[in-house]
Amino acid sequence: MVLVYQEPVRVKYYANWHSFAAAFRVGNLLSVIALALVTTYVTGSMWVKTRVSHEQPDVVFDSNVVMVLEGGETSEDVWFWSTLPNLNRAFETRFVSTDLSVTQEDFNFDGKADAIRIKMVSNVGAKVQGVKVLAQFEYKLRERVHMNMKSLAYVEHGAGMPGKALFADGSLALRQQDPLPDGSTRREYLSDLLVDGEPDGVLQASSKLRVNAMLEEYFFRNETTVFDTNYESWQAGDAAHGGFETNILLRVPSSQALVYTPSTIEILKFGWIQFLASFVVFFWLLSYWEWYVFHYRILETRMKTELKSKLKSF
């Protein structure tokens, strides 16, 4: 005889609802569910509190910039220039004429700037040993969170010898204090940070600009941007001849990380996946335990075998 085909024989076990066998089966199923829930919760990541999305922000230079040049001989050797006319008049005794050029570069032609080059040439006519630059930008995100805000990039460099040029390369990185709700709209920080015509405010007319006070207030915000420096290069020389040149290359990250709190449906979906992964393992172990109990008749049941004795005719 040759085996040409085989079918598994199904054996069914029956018991009353009030029997020990029925209670055993229900208890096992409830135990598997409880074990899966406890295991998922104890091992962590059952309920996701924060998630991270990646997006390239839309960054535009909004033409507001403040620059301070510092000498090394006395504390009064400070020169000032900005794009704010009233503020320039307030610093009239320390004002230095400067040529500004800004170039926004879009390498992949997606309509968003990938890099912003800021170049300033100042006719300072004196030795320069330090530079401070505050530049303001419009910063937008559109995917997980609809954000529109005014932000700053702060560049500072001091040297032990006079120089005639500074080259700074860095990225405009987003910083958060707390995560943002998924799908929310953020327009809390649309006010200008570099405000013209406030000689008695943070940008007050004095021999030194109160940059520290401005940055301290700025970083109390929940969302800010910082100039994350890649490198700075100081070119030694005398700025009295030919002026002082400031070159800043500001790169816009193509994959900026944003921390957000997911919606309820996303939390439940992720929790269900974690639970199901544990449930499958325990249910597989349960099947072997139940097979042993019922196959060896440890609990009283009524057994029925599905056997087909009729021959099929063709």
203-221, pLDDT tens digit by residue?
444 444 677 888 889 999 9
Same domain, 148 and 100: yes
Same domain, 177 and 79: yes
Same domain, 256 and 275: no
Would residue 5 count as lying in a domain?
no
Q: What is the mean pLDDT of residues 188-198?
A: 82
- The pLDDT-based confidence of 200 (bands split at 50, 70, 90) is very low
At 120 the pLDDT is 96
Same domain, 65 and 132: yes
Per-residue model confidence as pLDDT tens digits over 130-176: 999 999 999 999 999 999 999 999 999 998 899 999 999 999 999 99
At 52 the pLDDT is 94
Higher pLDDT, 228 or 241: 228
Would residue 182 count as lying in a domain?
yes
At 83 the pLDDT is 92
Same domain, 99 and 195: yes
At 11 the pLDDT is 84
Instruction: Look up residue 51 and give its two tokens.
Output: 């998630």
At 207 the pLDDT is 41
Would residue 288 count as lying in a domain?
yes
Which domain-ending residue is among 261, 276, 294? 261
Higher pLDDT, 101 or 2: 101
pTM given for the model: 0.78
At 188 the pLDDT is 93
Same domain, 176 and 277: no
Say how many domains are in the chain.
2
Same domain, 69 and 193: yes
On average, the pLDDT of the chain sits at 87
At 77 the pLDDT is 82
Domain that holds residue 89: 52-261
Would residue 271 count as lying in a domain?
yes
Cα torsion 219, 224, 229, 234 to 10°: value is: -60
Same domain, 34 and 173: no
At 228 the pLDDT is 95
Higher pLDDT, 270 or 44: 270
Would residue 2 count as lying in a domain?
no
* Residue that is written with structure tokens 């085989």 in the block: 6
At 197 the pLDDT is 58
At 308 the pLDDT is 59
Same domain, 98 and 67: yes
Instruction: Look up residue 283 and give its two tokens.
Output: 């249910």
Share of the chain above pLDDT 70, in %: 91
Strands (E), the chain: 11-14, 51-55, 58-70, 78-82, 98-105, 115-122, 128-141, 146-176, 180-181, 185-186, 223-236, 244-251, 256-261, 302-305
Same domain, 81 and 161: yes
Same domain, 60 and 193: yes
- The pLDDT-based confidence of 74 (bands split at 50, 70, 90) is low
Q: Where are the alpha helices (DSSP H) in 256-314?
A: 264-295
Lowest mean pLDDT among 1-5, 35-39, 182-186: 1-5
Would residue 110 count as lying in a domain?
yes
Per-residue model confidence as pLDDT tens digits over 10-43: 888 888 888 888 898 899 999 999 999 999 989 8
* Residue that is written with structure tokens 């004002």 in the block: 95
DSSP 201-249: SSS--SSS--HHHHHHHHTTSSEEEEEEEEEEEEEES-TTTT-EEEEEE
Nearest Cα neighbor of 174 from 217, 234, 211, 224 is 224
At 105 the pLDDT is 95
Q: What is the mean pLDDT of residues 255-269?
A: 93
Same domain, 223 and 123: yes
Would residue 73 count as lying in a domain?
yes
Instruction: Look up residue 104 and give its two tokens.
Output: 């926004």
- The pLDDT-based confidence of 194 (bands split at 50, 70, 90) is confident
Would residue 281 count as lying in a domain?
yes
